[in-house]
Structure formats: structure tokens, C-alpha cells
Amino acid sequence: MALKATIYKAELQIADMDRNYYANHTLTLARHPSETDERMMVRLLAFALYACEGLGFGKGLCVDDEPDLWHKDLTGAIQLWIDVGLPDEKWLRKACNRAERVVLINYNGRASDIWWEQNKNALARLDKLTVLNLATEAVDELRVLAKRGMRLQCTVQDGQVWITDGDRTAHIEPVKRSA
């Protein structure tokens, strides 16, 4: 019998001073059995960083041709494609061919650095791609906030992010990688 996804609910208040975006979102995150709390919370962070009307979670790990998050316009054209982790360079090239803009968020510490060194020259040719890296400590702080029912406040200012549940706060400074 196949294992089913675990459902997480999040009430997320976003105050993004960098984009002048202020909104409340009620989100449902399906955590695949092979997905870690870290990865799920990085997906939630990605939502907070790029939140807009129409941004939604893809089927993620279960489907090969969908991103972790995406925003489609009314015609079905993909405006924004967001993935987390360390995907194959060919996957990112395919994403850049399908979407107006592609964002990748790395978070695996040393493994992320090694992946970047191996792929940065090929990725430099993808002008639609932005790669952000998260410090291991920041992802650990995010992981602690993971609960089946979450009420989170997210503040974004000057490229820095604070996510709190009222008791604990994760401070994240995404770093843009460039070749």
C-alpha cells in the first residue's frame, strides 16, 4: 500500500515591504512521504517571497513536469516557475523554455555549494533563471516552525525575511547566486 501525503494547513500573513504586498493566505501543503520538513518549509518560504494572486503549489515530487510553485496567467501561460532543491540543469533549461521567469531556491548547505560549482557555467546561459541560496541555520529555524496547523506572520524588508509563529522566529537572508 502506497503512503499518502500528510496535509499541513497554514494561515500566512505576509507584509512584504520590498514589493508593497500585504495579504493573508490560507494554504494547504501536501507533504509527500519522501519530503522533509525542511523542504516543505522552504516551499512555504518561496510562496511568501513571491506571493501574488494566482500563485499556487504544483504537484511537486509526484509529477515530473510540474514545479513546486507556479503562477499561470488567464491564458494558461506560465509566468513564474519556482523549484526548491538541487535539480538537474536540463530540468531548469526546460523550465526556462516553458516559463517567463524561473526561480530556484537552494538550501542544502555544502551539497548546495557543490551543486552550484558543478552547474553555474551552464546556468549562467539561462537569462530567465534566478538562483537563491539559503543558509543551513536559517532552514533549521524554519523547520522548527513546521506543524500540521500553522499560524505564521512573514515580514520581508530589504531582502531579509522574518517568519514567526509568535513564539519562535526564523530569520532568513536569501543570497542570489551569480556565475
Query: How large is the average pLDDT for residues 145-165?
Result: 98
Give tens-digit pLDDT for 62-96.
556 789 999 999 999 999 999 999 999 999 999 99
Residue 14 has pLDDT above 90, yes or no: yes
Decide if pLDDT at 58 tops 90: no
pTM: 0.94
Are 84 and 111 in contact, with CB atoms under 8 Å apart? no
pLDDT tops 80 at residue 125: yes
| pLDDT-above-70 percentage for the chain | 96
**DSSP H or E run through 67:** none
Q: Provide the mean pLDDT of the chain.
A: 94
Q: Is the pLDDT of residue 34 over 60?
A: yes
Give the residue, 4 or 48, on which the prediction is more confident.
48
Furthest-apart CA pair in the chain: how many Å?
A: 48
**Phi, psi for 11 (deg, rounded to 5):** -100, 115
Q: What percent of the chain has pLDDT over 90?
A: 88
Query: Going from the N-terminus, what domains does the chain have, and what CATH number goes with each?
Result: 6-177 (3.10.640.10)
